[in-house]
Amino acid sequence: MPPIAPQRKSGLTMADPKATKRVQELRRQLEHHNYLYYVLDRPEISDAEYDRLFLELKELEARYPELGSPDSPTQRVGAEPLKQFVQVRHLQPMFSLANARNDEELRAWHLRVTKLLAEKGMDPAGAAFVSEPKIDGLAISLVYEDGRLTRGATRGNGEIGEDVTANLRTIGAIPIRLRLGRDEKPPAVVEVRGEVYLPLAAFQKLNQQRAAAGEPTFANPRNAAAGSVRQLDPRVAAGRPLSIWCYQIGFTDGLELESHWQALTWLREHGFKVNPLVKQHHDLDELTQACHDWEERRPELDYDIDGVVIKVDSFTMQQALGIVGRDPRWAIAFKFAPSTAVTRLLKIGVNVGRTGALNPFAIMEPVEVGGVTISQATLHNEEDINRKDIREGDWVLVQRAGDVIPQVVGPIIQKRTGAEKVYRMPEKCPSCGSHTVRPEGEVVVRCPNRSCPSQIVESIKHFVSKGAMDIDGVGERLVDRLFRLGMIRNMADLYYLDPEELVGLEISHSVNRNGREIPHRLQARSVGKMMDALDKSRQRPFHRVLFALGIRHVGSINARLLASRFHDIDALMAASREEVAGVEGIGPVIAEAVKEFFGEPHNRETVRRLRAAGLRFEAAAAELAGAGPLADQAFVLSGTLASLSRADAREMIEARGGKVSGSVGKGTAYLVLGENPGSKLARARELGTKILSESEFLKLMGR
């Protein structure tokens, strides 16, 4: 915002000493909290308190204009829009980096470095290295004179960049003044280099807003960051939550440092944001490991990285190694395969789920993203497609971030030809042709036809799935095939299959080199396995059978609640809506869904036949509520456990009367910690939930 026009009242010409002191104090406090918030990501006061301090300072500065200062926290967004950027020459050229695309090339670089050092009479065994993430953002240079930020510039061609000081000042993580110790004198000049980036979450939000406003979206976070920094109007840049990682000191006058590691430490101590995961190493194995660690960690990060930068630590050694052309020999960029890619969205397909929900998904030209080939990705629902403005025929940006699951980030508007088709959810179910409905206030479009083939097949797949009846040897493919052949029409039919009819059944085929189709037939052995698995499933506890039936809103937890309160299926079927809704955790909506399910004659028939096939429709004594040593204790599993699978752990907990839930909440009794825990750990720490290691957990289980 532009500085507020001074409203000088006559007679008030000089600020009293109290105001002067208060202004200084406020600036010091605001700078400190700014640092805690943006650089350390560890705020100590609320946003509201910060705003209060900020406002107080602004008012004082308005009242006493003579106390104003361009370095004041109120002046981060101070400048007026520019007509154009001024070109500036860097105090020291900003070099580029040679690439290593795999372990072998990294090794070759390391070998060359050690050889060269030996030739120069240095001991290569004493060489230390530093690894740091290579942020996919915008390289910039910040010049501090006498401790004050005087110039910020883009990298440009390395020699000459553009002066973007006004925009960089709006970035909270960039200090306007160096954080100095008591009596510490700032160096006359220090040039700090870093990479400005837009956090991925902010990028997505920004693109959604732009799409909604009909503005073109950014193709990726780097473009968005670069576009923001090169805004002529600093107020636009201020509205983008940009951040920075600082990684180097360029030109300096008045600073004596011996190594890169020392430089990073200096930066950290003087208020700059330096990546906390930067590490020091001593041999090639450690370096290789560091590169792989970063690649693995990549999906968890809130910023894009396209590799790891390795530098020789000692400045003396750096000098000895020198620069060839533009690339210093003492540094190299280990590059990853890109985790985002652009490809063509050929068509939007629709799946019909077991509840009748129509789920659109993107069919794309296969493209490699983060090391795997992606050809499909879910598009969630119609609103999401429209919000992102994704059209058939678009070039789209796909990414694998946050998790392993690929997502379509959005279209590349610049690549539009006009031939793209705006997407409309089908009015007829793609499986059965029924008119689809979208209940008011809901997001999903549904097929209302209960005998829709897609819904039936999907519900059978649910029935045999791991969490439900867990029938090994009957997978999705086989269910599809058996249904299409008319051998099963619902889940009960599985138990009435004739093994003799199954043997020799063609389930799929592959094409050999001569283009000839080779049929794959069910062998007697696999049919035997199937029958065994079906047999075993007859022993599954009642609550799993109830879950397997696929009643709407009745998942594994609610099935367990119902099973333990109603003991058997007859009691449940006979219960009134009110009685069902009376169960703790079950409300009117779920009760209605239960009644509706059992009100359907053909569902009752399925239950009858499953019962006749020998499935369990009553709860064993131990399954009743409140039984077991861990009665009603809630567990959450995080990460991978070394000695047992998630499902095993769950069984152990449940066998003792405990529950397993997917997220940490107030009611969670324990978090069981495995390797590579996710966000649950942080949440558990926040709530003070008891955290168990794997061995502690096993002990609790009595093993």
Contacting residues toward DNA, per CB under 7 A: 351, 353-355, 357, 359, 361, 372-378, 380-381, 383-384, 402-406, 441-444, 458, 462, 552-559, 581, 584-591, 659, 661-668, 678-680
Give the CA-trace dihedral at 25, 31, 36, 41, to 10 degrees: 150
State the minimum distance, in angstroms, from the CB of residue 320 to DNA. Answer: 45
Q: Compare residues 178 and 634 and give the one whose CB is closer to DNA.
A: 634
134 assigned to active site: yes
Q: Element (H or E) spanning 612, and its range? A: helix 601-612
Q: Compare residues 204 and 537 and give the one whose CB is closer to DNA.
A: 204
* Sole residue written with tokens 């807003």: 209
Q: Compare residues 69 and 351 and give the one whose CB is closer to DNA.
A: 351
For residue 344, list its beta bridge partners: 395
Pair 343, 330: CB distance under 8 Å: no
State the minimum distance, in angstroms, from the CB of residue 487 to DNA. Answer: 23
CA distance 91 to 696: 58
- DSSP structural state of residue 79: P
Catalytic position from the list 18, 58, 134, 680: 134
CA distance 498 to 592: 37
Query: Tokens standing for 416?
Result: 């539009």
Q: Compare residues 177 and 552 and give the one whose CB is closer to DNA.
A: 552
State the minimum distance, in angstroms, from the CB of residue 242 to DNA. Answer: 22
3-state secondary structure labels for all residues of 249-282:
EEEEECCCCCEHHHHHHHHHHCCCCCCCCCEEEC
For residue 99, list its beta bridge partners: 333
Which residues touch 191 (CB under 8 Å, ≥6 apart)?
90, 91, 92, 141, 142, 143, 144, 249, 250, 251, 252
CA distance 164 to 69: 20
State the minimum distance, in angstroms, from the CB of residue 692 to DNA. Answer: 18
Considering only the C-alpha atoms of the chain, give the largest distance between any 2 of them, rounded to a whole number of Å: 107
Residue from 436, 416, 451, 285 nearest 360 by CA:
436
Query: Tokens standing for 179?
Result: 């954080």
Pair 173, 37: CB distance under 8 Å: no
State the minimum distance, in angstroms, from the CB of residue 689 to DNA. Answer: 10
Q: Compare residues 310 and 594 and give the one whose CB is closer to DNA.
A: 594
Q: Compare residues 530 and 664 and give the one whose CB is closer to DNA.
A: 664
State the minimum distance, in angstroms, from the CB of residue 576 to DNA. Answer: 15
Q: Compare residues 220 and 668 and give the one whose CB is closer to DNA.
A: 668
CA distance 489 to 499: 17
- DSSP structural state of residue 178: -
State the minimum distance, in angstroms, from the CB of residue 387 to DNA. Answer: 9
* Residues designated as active site: 134
